[in-house]
Amino acid sequence: MLYMDVSTWEPTLSDKVIEHFKELKPPAGINIIKQWVDLTGGRYFILYECDDAEAYAAFNLPWSDICEIDSVPVMESTDFIKLMSKQ
């Protein structure tokens, strides 16, 4: 399943966030597809695949002390249209 996470943090925590990014090593079961950083600061976007709840938790929970993470399951619009057309 694909997930789009949007992480936000307070500007005062930027140094801690940068340290987390330097050490970012996704656990087995997480396949990062693409990552973006908001150039105005304070937000990070990541698109990844994950089919394992434990890998998902291991990937996101270590950030919970410095970031708020909005995690959304997503699919490409063409796939969504095909899925909805079957109903």
Question: What is the domain-level CATH number for residue 69?
Answer: 3.30.70.1060
- Number of domains into which the chain is organized: 1
Domain of residue 71, residue span: 2-85
Q: Kindly list the distances between the CA atom of residue 83 and the CA atoms of 1, 24, 48, in Å, as whole numbers in the listed order.
A: 14, 34, 21
Q: Which amino acid is at 29?
A: G
Round to whole Å and give the CA distance between 9 and 32: 21
How much is the pLDDT for 23?
86
pTM value is: 0.86
Tokens of residue 82, six digits: 């095909």
Q: What are phi and psi of 51, to 5 degrees?
A: -120, 15
Angle at 49 between CA 68 and CA 45, to 5 degrees: 35
**pLDDT for the residue numbered 29:** 96
What digits encode the pLDDT tens for the residues 13-47? 999 998 988 888 899 999 999 999 999 989 999 99
Q: What is the mean pLDDT of the chain?
A: 93
